[in-house]
Structure 1
């Protein structure tokens, strides 16, 4: 399963139709208020499946460094 993305994995496990799966990746510049605002948006949008991840791929790190 390592090469499959989250949506393929969810469908593979027979869980399609559960709605969006959101991966939240706050950077080092993110403060507590930003994170709370994101979690509030998850509640407003009624997104039940989300996770907060602290790891970035090399491509994501490069993108963040360019900003």
Structure 2
């Protein structure tokens, strides 16, 4: 059971990376500021995209924690 869950999580993670890898080049080409940054500082853009690609699963817990924090009565 644990192996199946780990394999499912890995496949979901890899699917997210594949989606980002196919969507980001087109998104950069369509956004003038991102295109300018990619032309003037490609190393920084590549490092930022690598960080986003690796850390994309953290957006789900971040969104959940942010939502719960906004609902707090404090």
Q: TM-score w.r.t. structure 1 length?
A: 0.24
Higher helix share: 2
* Structure showing greater relative contact order (alpha-carbon pairs closer than 8 Å, 6 or more residues apart): 1
Higher strand share: 1
- CA radius of gyration, larger in: 2
Q: TM-score w.r.t. structure 2 length?
A: 0.23
